[in-house]
Structure 1
Amino acid sequence: MHAPRPGPAGGDSSAAIALREVTKQFATEGPQPYTALRDLDIEVAPGEFCAVVGPTGCGKSTTLTLVAGLEQPSAGSVRVHGEEVSGITPGVGFMFQTDAILPWKTVLDNVSAGPRFRGVAKRTVLSEARDWIRRVGLAGFEDRYPHQLSGGMRKRVALAQNLINEPRILLMDEPFGALDVQTRAKMSDELLSLWELTRPAVVFVTHDLEEAIALADTVIVLTAGPAATVKARFAIDLPRPRVVQEVRFDRQFVDLYQQIWEALRTEVDRAYAQTTRLSEEAGA
């Protein structure tokens, strides 16, 4: 049996990411703020691949923005490598749901943009950028513009654009959600092979439970919002390296899926009931 892991036991100084009793509220038009997260405790070790799942509106994306320093917690603490997050967090890469590559720049210019902004010599940057473009399977496309690429190819550019900066932490907000099933599986395999090269700590947000289990070392289940928090944490002790399409047929994978879905299903049902009730109230 694969029992849920207990919550974090401390040790912020050795953690890549540590959120402690984090509450995040947003102002509303009414007198009361909206509480997206409440008393959230998450810890991610250096080199750990952590997937976060939960129903729509449970604060998964908000959790990423707190780690990145794009938002500040209303209460609690967010630490990255032992340092309190008080602004944009250095050493963090962020892949969004939609492409964040620049449409007026070529593949080579997009991938080299980060190091060039930091002042790395142009010759060195271009050599490294070409190497990363090769690693993501886009050799020969250096001079193409984003509109000349498929959706999967643009995601490869975004991966190279992040990994060339050698981030110690990589935040990924449903990065493959818009891709077709086959391309999504190929991108997942690509991500795992590239992650193995430098082993940053990864927080990967997804609605796809199969994707979460196939990729991660740990799967965290959040409760339904508002005031979402951690419900359960599961160790994914499937052997690496993994091939995403093949590992899904492993008996151990099926066992893990059943256990995690039992934890997740209740929260999905709660979120659906809340949405239905609000719709009925709005229509009354």
Structure 2
Amino acid sequence: MPKRATTPENADDGRVSTGDPVIELRGATKRFRSSGGGVHTAVRDLNMTVRAGEFVAVVGPTGCGKSTTLSLVSGLEPASEGGALVHGRPVEGIPDGVGYMFQNDAVLPWRTVLDNVATGPRYRGTGKREARERARDWVARVGLEGFEGYYPHQLSGGMRKRVALAQTLVNEPSVLLMDEPFSALDVQTRGLMQDELLRLWSGSGAAVVFVTHDLEEALVLADRVVVMTAGPATIKGTFAVPLERPRDAEEVRLTAEFLDIYREVWESLREEVQITRERGAGHAA
């Protein structure tokens, strides 16, 4: 089978060509002071765009700077060089319309499911009654109707993830940043949550950047997969995912098209994983 063309390093393939980019990284580099007084470069010269309604997954070897990339877009970290734009405006602080779902649940243990989901609208100035009505709607959308009065400790891991998803989506973000949100779940529950995410995101118009260490997950969810190099990370290539939507997270994995694109992306990613392993072995020695 002939290989599909991938983009060169630090370039976008422009698969979704209509409309202005919602998210842009322009030569973004991030450096941190190390504990020994030196400087550690986490990511360098990142160039990436994501348009409205586009789902982009970011994969790369462990510790390469995938989460740092999200921090630059969200405004949690300023760029050392270059920068990020959201809706055409330079990121200087947390932009309006950004939702962020972390690897660890951000649910408040002393609040019920309903009050956890209502927290975001209340923080944004929505009245208590309206906030709770919106929260009740989203609790039902994520399949937790009847659990509104439960506390987080009374829920399974998958149910807490549904609460976290409702917390994020109740604010109707135009930009959705997700940092390995399902990595702690068992395989079956992860598949269910992937289906839930696709169902709830579909038609929302939100631009999504989803960081994951799981290549299968990236391909199940995304329109494009961005492969990052071993640290200090830059973008090695971008791969279009030629799988029709809507997708079933379990069934799509069994198709010949899925296996073809998996082999292609893994060929690129494997090189970077090997570099990271060799570096680790060298330090251990």
Confirm or deny a common fold (TM above 0.5).
yes
- Residue 9 of structure 1 and its aligned partner are, at CA, apart by 8.0
**Structure 1 residue 236 corresponds to structure 2 residue 229:** no
Q: What is the alpha-carbon distance in structure 1 between the residues aligned to residue 205 and residue 280 of structure 2?
A: 39
Report the count of equivalent residues: 278
Q: What is the alpha-carbon distance in structure 2 between the residues aligned to residue 230 and residue 269 of structure 1?
A: 17
Q: What is the alpha-carbon distance in structure 2 between the residues aligned to residue 5 and residue 15 of structure 1?
A: 18
Task: Return the TM-score normalized by structure 1.
Answer: 0.95
Matching residue within 214, 226, 233 for 1:220: 226
What residue in structure 1 maps to residue 149 of structure 2? Answer: 143
For structure 1, the residue ranges without an aligned partner over 5 or more in a row are none
**Is the Cα–Cα contact under 8 Å of residues 25 and 35 in structure 1 kept in the other structure?**
yes
Q: What is the alpha-carbon distance in structure 2 between the residues aligned to residue 183 and residue 54 of structure 1?
A: 23
SS at match of 1:275: helix
Matching residue within 114, 120, 125 for 1:119: 125
Cα 1:9–1:206 change in 2 (3 A) is closer
Q: What is the alpha-carbon distance in structure 1 between the residues aligned to residue 134 and residue 95 of structure 2?
A: 23
Q: What is the alpha-carbon distance in structure 2 between the residues aligned to residue 30 and residue 128 of structure 1?
A: 49
Superposition map of 1:22-171 within 5 A: 22-171=28-177
Matching residue within 252, 255, 258 for 1:253: 258
The structure richer in helix per residue is 1
Considering only aligned residues, what root-mean-square deviation do their CA atoms show, in Å? 1.4
The ranges of structure 1 where at least 4 consecutive aligned residues each deviate by more than 3 angstroms after the TM superposition are: 8-11
- Residue 90 of structure 1 and its aligned partner are, at CA, apart by 1.6
Superposition map of 1:173-184 within 5 A: 173-184=179-190
Q: What is the alpha-carbon distance in structure 1 between the residues aligned to residue 82 and residue 13 of structure 2?
A: 16
Q: What is the alpha-carbon distance in structure 2 between the residues aligned to residue 252 and residue 169 of structure 1?
A: 29
What residue in structure 2 maps to residue 275 of structure 1? Answer: 280
SS at match of 1:220: strand
Equivalent residue letter for 1:28: S
Task: Return the TM-score normalized by structure 2.
Answer: 0.95
Q: Which moved more, 1:104-113 or 1:114-123?
A: 114-123
SS at match of 2:202: helix
Q: What is the alpha-carbon distance in structure 2 between the residues aligned to residue 179 and residue 20 of structure 1?
A: 34
Equivalent residue letter for 1:235: A
Equivalent residue letter for 1:218: R
For structure 2, the residue ranges without an aligned partner over 5 or more in a row are none
**Is the Cα–Cα contact under 8 Å of residues 12 and 238 in structure 2 kept in the other structure?**
no
**CA offsets 1:76-118 (integer angstroms, 9 cap, x no match):** 0110010000111221111111111111100000000011111
SS at match of 2:158: helix
What residue in structure 2 maps to residue 8 of structure 1? Answer: 12
SS at match of 1:16: strand
Q: What is the alpha-carbon distance in structure 2 between the residues aligned to residue 200 and residue 275 of structure 1?
A: 38
**Is the Cα–Cα contact under 8 Å of residues 61 and 272 in structure 2 kept in the other structure?**
yes
- Percentage of matched positions with identical amino acids: 59
**Is the Cα–Cα contact under 8 Å of residues 13 and 238 in structure 2 kept in the other structure?**
no
SS at match of 2:139: helix
SS at match of 1:239: coil
**Is the Cα–Cα contact under 8 Å of residues 5 and 235 in structure 1 kept in the other structure?**
no
SS at match of 1:261: helix
